[in-house]
Amino acid sequence: MATIGADLVRQMAAGDREAFAVFYDRYAPVVFPLILRIVRERADASDVLQEVFWEAWRDAPAYDAARGSPEAWMVTRARTRALDRIRATRRRGDTFVAPLDEGLAAPHESAPDAAERAADRGTVMSALDRLPDVQREVIELAYYAGLTQTEIAERLKQPLGTVKTRIRLALERLRAVVKTSA
C-alpha cells in the first residue's frame, strides 16, 4: 500500500496534478479526522487540511520513503499544522483547548481501510495502556491536548527535564510495543 502512496508522491514531485488529486483522495480521509479532533472546529480543520496538502504538494520532492510511509508523512504534517493552529489561536486569547470529544464522526471510509485503522488505533491504545501513568499522562497532554513540553511541565508542576525524560521513555516504549505488534 505504501508503495502506491510513494509512487504518487514521486509523481507529484514531477508536477503531476492528477497524481496529487489521487493522493488527496487517498489521504484526506485519514488526516481530516485527526485535524478535526485537535482543532475542534470544522472550518479551522478544513483550513488546516488545505495547508497540509499544499505543503505536501510543495515539499513532495523532499519526501524520503526511508523515513516513513506517505501516510505517516501526512499524519505527522497534519498533527503539526493542527497544533500550530491551536497554539496560534491560544496566543491570540480567542479560545482554549477543550477536552477531546471522542464522539466526533470520521468521514466515510471503505470497510478494509476502516478496519485497518481501527486495528491500528487498538494497537496504539493498548500500547498507551501499558505505559506507567506518569508517562501516559505526558503523551496524552502532548499529542491530544497539543501542549508543548514547557506547558506540560507548568501544568503538572514538574521540572521540564522530568517531562522531557518521561516523553522520551514513553515514546521508546510505544515504539517497541507497536513494532512487536506489527
Domain 1-95 has CATH 1.10.1740.10: yes
pLDDT single digits (tens) 72-114: 999 999 999 998 888 887 766 544 444 444 444 444 444 445 5
Please, which residues have CB within 8 angstroms of residue 102's CB and are 6 or more apart in sequence?
A: none
Q: What pTM, to 2 d.p., does this model score?
A: 0.56
DSSP 98: P
> Which CATH class, in words, describes the domain spanning 111-182?
mainly alpha
pLDDT single digits (tens) 131-152: 899 998 998 888 877 788 888 9
Task: Specify the residue for cell string 480543520.
Answer: 45
pLDDT single digits (tens) 18-29: 999 999 999 999
CB atoms within 10 A of CB 10: 15
Alpha helices in the chain (DSSP H): 2-13, 17-39, 42-59, 70-92, 111-129, 133-143, 149-156, 160-181
Query: Per-domain residue ranges for the chain?
Result: 1-95, 111-182
Q: Matching CATH topology for 1-95 and 111-182?
A: no
CA angle (51 as vertex; 58, 30 as ends), nearest 5: 100
pLDDT single digits (tens) 26-48: 999 999 998 998 888 899 999 99
Q: Is 135 helix (H, G, I), strand (E, B) or coil?
A: helix
